[in-house]
Amino acid sequence: MDNKAFTPVRITTIKADRQVSFPVFIYFKEQYLEYIQSGQSIEKEKYKKLRKQKITKFFIQDADEGKYQQFLDGVLDQVINDPNTSTEEKVELVSGQSETAVERLKDDPGNESNFDMTRKASKNLQNLIFNNPDSLNQIFGQDSEAGEVIQHSINVAVLTIKFARVCKISDEDIDYLSTAALMHDVGVMQMDKESADLFNKPKKELGPKEKTTYYEHCKGVVQLLAERPYINNKIIELIEGHEENLQGSGPLKMAKLTKPQEILSMVNAYDKKILTNKVTPAEAIKEMMIDELGNYNLDLLTKFQKFLKDEKVV
């Protein structure tokens, strides 16, 4: 079979004991093996075993993409508003959908169906965060197998969604923010390995040349996304401004930011600090109050610090 005819999906998006309308494969010894037949489901015990073996991905045939999306929408519709489903289970599904969406953007950032999946994931994240108060803490800082950039994107999305509400940002702008947060570092995933490694280097340690290289992730991909008519301009503006600050020392030297842009940039800087400086969430906010003063409004930083306490993140 042709390798290109398969697409990875996170195993967490295929639930146990639920009939699939398409065959599901695993990749084993350089071959795609049919693991669940169309019309069948995977038993819970078998599923648990796979998870234990750290199998994180299934594969579907490209031609079944529509069926897969329908399957996932159906599961999520049922689960997300169900009071009898645990928050843990909801978190697992919505995280799986977000991870699958961002992983696909990495391969084809401008693709419409990848964008649609990202939109759906961001709407489900909002629903989850607003209706299940304990979900933020379960998602934020998860030890995800999806990779650092993807987990960072999800971290930024969940903090941004809830903090934006505290800041009384309109629902429409929160919706754009949630999608932009999931997409904001797609440019990093597009870079060659050496440049992408700069993602893990503390901002203070980046030399001028490295900074220029790293900041490229805010430019090229944004142009590509801007050409796609189905991507709203507000989403593009947010992605474009995510490394900017009020002192104008970001890649585009924009010293003026809209409130949603400032929130996204600040939350991004916060999660990056935890990641690159290898500090706890509590230490990171303390460092922010010193290092980022002037880059963001003091009242916004203070509000964010209080928010993290209220949410028991710190």
* Residues of the shown chain interacting with Fe ion in the complex, contacts defined by CB under 5 A: 185, 268
In terms of CB distance, is 15 or 242 closer to Fe ion? 242
In terms of CB distance, is 14 or 275 closer to Fe ion? 275
CB 269, min distance to Fe ion, A: 8
> Is 215 buried (19+), middle (13-18) or exposed (0-12) by CB count in 10 A?
middle
Tokens representing 42 are 């995977």
CB 271, min distance to Fe ion, A: 7
CB 153, min distance to Fe ion, A: 7
In terms of CB distance, is 175 or 185 closer to Fe ion? 185
In terms of CB distance, is 124 or 268 closer to Fe ion? 268
Whether the CA torsion 183, 16, 40, 27 is positive or negative: it is positive
Q: Tell me how far apart the alpha carbons of residues 306 and 314 are, in angstroms, rounded to a whole number.
A: 9
Q: Which amino acid is at 210?
A: E
In terms of CB distance, is 179 or 268 closer to Fe ion? 268
In terms of CB distance, is 11 or 121 closer to Fe ion? 121
Instruction: Tell me how far CA of residue 290 lies from CA of 257, 262, 278, in angstroms.
Output: 20, 17, 17
Beta strand 31-36 with 57-61 is unpaired
Tokens representing 224 are 């590509």
- For 165, the enclosing helix (H) or strand (E) is helix 148-166
CB 272, min distance to Fe ion, A: 6
Question: 60 - beta bridge partners?
Answer: 7
CB 214, min distance to Fe ion, A: 8
CB 124, min distance to Fe ion, A: 21
Give the SS3 label for residue 56: coil
In terms of CB distance, is 42 or 180 closer to Fe ion? 180
CB 181, min distance to Fe ion, A: 9
CB 159, min distance to Fe ion, A: 12
In terms of CB distance, is 122 or 268 closer to Fe ion? 268
Q: Tell me how far apart the alpha carbons of residues 78 and 72 are, in angstroms, rounded to a whole number.
A: 10
DSSP 66: H
In terms of CB distance, is 268 or 295 closer to Fe ion? 268
Contact of 277 with 239, CB cutoff 8 Å: no
> Is 304 buried (19+), middle (13-18) or exposed (0-12) by CB count in 10 A?
buried
Q: Which of 228, 260, 224 is nearest to 242 (CA)?
A: 260
- Other beta carbons within 10 angstroms of residue 88's beta carbon come to 12
CB 152, min distance to Fe ion, A: 6
Strands (E), 113-224: none
